[in-house]
Structure 1
Amino acid sequence: MNFCDECGSMMKTEGDAWVCDSCGAEERRDEAEEAKTAVTTQGQEESEVVDTSDVDAADMGPTTETRCPECGNDRAFWEMKQIRAADESETRFFTCTECEHKWREDDH
Structure 2
Amino acid sequence: MSIKLTSEPGFCPDCGTILPLLSDKDGVRCYICKKVYGSEVFPGLECNYTSQFNSLETYSELKKGQESAEGPVVERKCPNCENDTMSYATLQLRSADEGQTVFYTCTKCKFKETENS
Which of the pair is proportionally richer in strand?
1
TM-score range, shorter chain: 0.3 to 0.5
**TM-score between the two structures when normalised by the length of structure 2:** 0.41
TM-score when normalising by structure 1: 0.44
